[in-house]
Amino acid sequence: LYCYEYRNFTMTGSTISGCAKTVLIYPVDMQNLGSGNQYLSNTDNRIHCPAGTIDATATWTAQSIPIYVSGNMQFTGTGSPVLTIPYGTVLEFGAGLYMSIGHTSSSLYSTILLATGVTFRGAVATAGYWEGLLFNVVGGSSLLSGCTIRDAGEGNVAAIRLNVPTSTITGC
């Protein structure tokens, strides 16, 4: 399945098996992957997510395989959008990549990331493989709870960079 950005579809209760790859879907459409999907005996058994922006409130559904992030992922938007990533989700980042949350300059917006029990890791288990999570200066009170962040810190930067006034990181 290949889905270009901003397409109106939902995938639930589907099985993808015996394929070279499973799904390629942009960050803005990750919320369209629903529950009950099975990914069996595929050569590259990951969901592929290229670079892109999530620009509105979204709630993802946990899938049974990792999400491979092959380009920088950004979460911005107008108003106060909230991105909820559910327990058990695994995000694997390519070399040198990052996920940014919030805006760098506009004080009109307040983006919020809610992630509980999510694993953020490199596609290769090596310290400094991917850059990490960047909470930009204009963002809301995000919450990381019970998350695992590993293999980050590329270029000797911190795995989590907080430039926002308030956020909570607990049990990570």
CA quadruple 18, 10, 87, 49: dihedral sign: positive
- Compute CA distances 9 → 66, 68, 83, 97, 154, whole Å: 21, 21, 19, 28, 36
Question: Residue 140's pLDDT is what?
Answer: 74
- At residue 172, the 3 state secondary structure works out as coil
Token pair, residue 50, equals: 């290229």
What residues in the chain have per-residue pLDDT under 50? none
Question: Residue 107's pLDDT is what?
Answer: 58
Question: Residue 69's pLDDT is what?
Answer: 97
Question: Residue 3's pLDDT is what?
Answer: 84
- 2: how many CB neighbours lie within 10 A of its CB? 9
- Name, in order, each residue with C-beta under 8 angstroms of 11's C-beta and a sequence gap of 6 or more: 1, 23, 32, 33, 34, 37
The pLDDT tens digits for 63-81 are: 999 999 999 999 987 778 8
